[in-house]
Amino acid sequence: MLKRKCFCLIFVVFNVCLHSLFAFAATTDATINNTTIDSAHKSLPLIRITDAVVYVPLGFSQSTIAFFTLQNKSGVDISITQVTSSTITKIELVPAIPRTISQSTTKATVNTIETSNHWLIPAGKTLVLHPNKQYLQLNGLRNSLRTGDELQLEVRLSDGQQLLVVAQAKSAFDQPHSH
């Protein structure tokens, strides 16, 4: 009888230990999986710059333009505050042409210029820079550019981020044509 009680006690202790071991393994696995998912989710960029292009300057000019697409997948509005490069003397943010708004008043019609931050990218939205709209004016190129060269730009954002952008040099005449 003592052997049977001892066997039952060992069996119960073994089951409790085995159950505890499986519970610990499941909890650890879930924690590892959540950490992996969270780490992967956090590593996805919330601010993404794509399609960066810089035009090859014409002739011996040291000025050209650059443009890109900036996606804001974060939950807050951000704006471009500055763009710099070690190979360019001066970079200007050239805004889109402001719209003139006519407002009628009792005395006369007043024309005002719409003022807004043209470099603002609202949360969840995309800003597309384009040579015919708003772009970066690059003055004082220290090196010549040829088609296929790469130009590094550092884009500073209002949230403190600094993004490195590599713009591909293209000729302004290398545009798709439809006939």
The token pair that represents 47 in the structure block: 């601010």
Distance from chain centroid for Cα 54: 18
Q: Is the pLDDT of residue 15 over 80?
A: no
pLDDT of the residue at 10: 59
Q: Is the pLDDT of residue 37 over 60?
A: no
What is the per-residue pLDDT across 118-155, written as a single tens digit (0 to 9) for each? 789 999 999 999 998 899 999 999 988 999 999 999 99
Separation CA 122–CA 136 (nearest Å)? 20
Q: Three-class SS of residue 105?
A: coil
Name the band, by pLDDT with cuts 50, 70 and 90, for residue 26.
Answer: very low
The token pair that represents 93 in the structure block: 């943010």
pLDDT of the residue at 114: 44
pLDDT of the residue at 154: 96
What is the per-residue pLDDT across 69-121, written as a single tens digit (0 to 9) for each? 999 999 999 999 999 999 999 999 998 766 555 555 454 544 444 445 678 99
pTM for this predicted structure: 0.63
